[in-house]
Structure 1
Amino acid sequence: MDFLTATLSVDDIWWMETFIDDWFFVIALSLFVIEIIRYAFKRQVTKNLLGDSITNFVTLGLFILLVGLVAIAYVGIFFFVFDNYKIVELPTTLWTILCCIVLADLAYYWEHRFLHKNGFAWASHTVHHSSPHFNISVAYRHGPLDWLFPLFFYLPLAALGFHPFIILLAEVIVQVYQTLLHTETVKKLPRPIEAIFNTPSHHRVHHARNTRYLDKNYAGIFIIWDRLFGTFAREDEKVKYGVYPQINSINPIKVFFSGYIKLAQQIYKAPTWSHKLKLLHKPPIWAWQQSQANYHKTNQ
């Protein structure tokens, strides 16, 4: 067990992160090809499916472009907190990395829950949920500000004393795990795994627009967070994917900015300044309830 306590260099951490980033994307593309072949055998390949998949990868490209513009500042903030406000400086070992992954996963749960409960954040995250399909390519479907919100939830890890490169590595591992969950090929796994870990079945529930599944299963790696905080739902009925109302477009530019375009339209039409501000911080279900209430008033 000595290898778990052996000190690692920054170069070691950087190598692990680069290796995961580079090779996993190749693996994900390979899995996507397998999924397309599976759809072909089932005669479910359509122009919309292929167009939607291409759109997913284009939004990934746009997202990477934005990340490239802010990457130095993003990493710099972690180093600033680590250098000036850390409670203790933790050693760089495999044990530290494992602990950081667990804490990063907990941070991801609360970040993910926030994205669904805040109107401004949801306007970016809704892009990820807007696909009516569910395959590996959907994991790469990003909104314009998806790079921003993780900062506020992972930053406390730097104050706890985790080296910024360890935090970024943990963040990558959580995201990589999430990518694998976007598939209909894998049904349900053995019960012990389903009880502890997030699985494709659990994540299909999260992407559903079925009423009983809304705002459920926010987990990254460990589904125990949802079980612990009361947001777990089991996949018991057929999942309908997407958001309401559906975007009904495979135009990547329209999809990428759809959330903020819709939010801007809602703010413009809002009757009062109080209503406009609430659209920025209230959950999307509140905006929908308000629109339904106004509809019934005007049609009485």
Structure 2
Amino acid sequence: MPDFLLKPIPGFQLEIWEKFIGDWFFVFAIAFLVFELALYALRGKLSKHMAGDTVTNYITLAFFLITTTLLFATLYAAAYFFAAEFAVFGIQTNLLTLVICLILADLAYYWEHRILHRINFLWATHSVHHSSPFFNISVAYRHGPLDGFWPLFFHLPLVLLGFDPLLVLVCELLVQLFQTALHTEVIGKLWKPIELLFNTPSHHRVHHGSNRKYLDKNYAGIFIIWDRMFGTFEEEIEDVKYGLTRPINSINPFVAFFHGFTRLGAEVAKADGLYNKLGHLFGPPGWKPKKKPAQPTSEGEK
């Protein structure tokens, strides 16, 4: 095996990578957004609604960064470094283990993403990301209040396995940045081998579709093979209708940021009985109480 794959990567280098990659990718994303909006303008598709929705995306990002910094950032880092004390193995950080950790982090992301779509109180935060009726790179930055919290539980096992907490954080970042680049209509389908192995803009457009055949499909981060393996893959065939099956019909950033929890709260409040309230919280999106069977009538009531 080539020596460079096994050469240790110091922790301070991981910190530099994390900051440098994240900061410069954001600059790229802004530049690409300008390019996308210019194309929409040239095609006569740029509207006030799209422009307002784009601004809302970045305002929800600001809300997300505030809540994450205030509520979760210290907890997240502390949990990782505390868990590292109980790691099963002491895995050295090098290019080879970085690749392995990245693949495992991507698999963890797949299951995190899939579960966020299937449990109502988790969907309440993730639905913010899906609530835009448009699809450009700014949508990648549209986040809900608790989006920075749930990844902890899915990636913590990698730290317990023995990967350096900083390496796990870098791999999480790489998965997220790869996903960010997929939010575009500018790029069509790619070369078939790429479409077969990797998540692409085409695959991710499907994921953001509210078309019935596209619901709960293509959860992948980097590798679309997880969807192919676990039966959640769908090809982009028909035009994608973006947004939620129950649109929020608003570019108000407060409505966008909190709509999932306000809807869920209203459903729980209206539900009769503990079973139905728990059903709304832990059931899948669209869960409804079972209708009670009609009571038989007596002869005199017919």
TM-score bracket for this pair, using the shorter chain length: over 0.9
1:185 positional shift: 0.4
The secondary structure found in structure 2 opposite 1:80 is helix
> Hey, what's the Cα distance between the residues in 1 that align with 2:190 and 2:6?
33
In the alignment, residue 278 of structure 1 is paired with which amino acid? G
- Listed one character per residue, the Cα deviations across residues 226-272 of structure 1 (whole Å, up to 9, x for unaligned) are 00000000001010000021000001011100000000000011122
Q: Aligned residue for 2:76?
A: 74
Q: Aligned residue for 2:300?
A: none
Q: Give 1:208-287 correspondences, 5 Å limit.
A: 208-287=209-288
> Hey, what's the Cα distance between the residues in 1 that align with 2:144 and 2:177?
17
> Hey, what's the Cα distance between the residues in 2 that align with 1:285 and 1:166?
38
Q: Give the structure-1-normalised TM-score.
A: 0.95
The secondary structure found in structure 2 opposite 1:145 is coil
Q: Give 1:112-123 correspondences, 5 Å limit.
A: 112-123=113-124
Q: Aligned residue for 1:130?
A: 131
1:67 positional shift: 1.5
- Listed one character per residue, the Cα deviations across residues 120-163 of structure 1 (whole Å, up to 9, x for unaligned) are 00000000000000000000000000011101100000011001
Q: Give 1:135-214 correspondences, 5 Å limit.
A: 135-214=136-215
Q: Give the structure-2-normalised TM-score.
A: 0.94
Structure 2, gaps ≥5 residues long: 293-302
> Hey, what's the Cα distance between the residues in 2 that align with 1:103 and 1:139?
22
1:285 positional shift: 3.0
**Percent identity over paired residues:** 52
Q: Aligned residue for 1:94?
A: 95
- Report the number of matched residues: 290
The secondary structure found in structure 2 opposite 1:201 is helix
1:2 positional shift: 2.1
Q: Which moved more, 1:170-179 or 1:276-285?
A: 276-285
Higher relative helix content = 1
Q: Aligned residue for 2:112?
A: 111
Structure 1, gaps ≥5 residues long: 295-300
1:4 positional shift: 1.6
RMSD value, Cα: 1.1
Deviating above 3 A after TM superposition, structure 1's stretches of 4 or more consecutive aligned residues are none
> Hey, what's the Cα distance between the residues in 1 that align with 2:14 and 2:97?
12
Q: Aligned residue for 1:47?
A: 48
> Hey, what's the Cα distance between the residues in 1 that align with 2:272 and 2:251?
32
> Hey, what's the Cα distance between the residues in 1 that align with 2:75 and 2:235?
40
In the alignment, residue 190 of structure 2 is paired with which amino acid? L
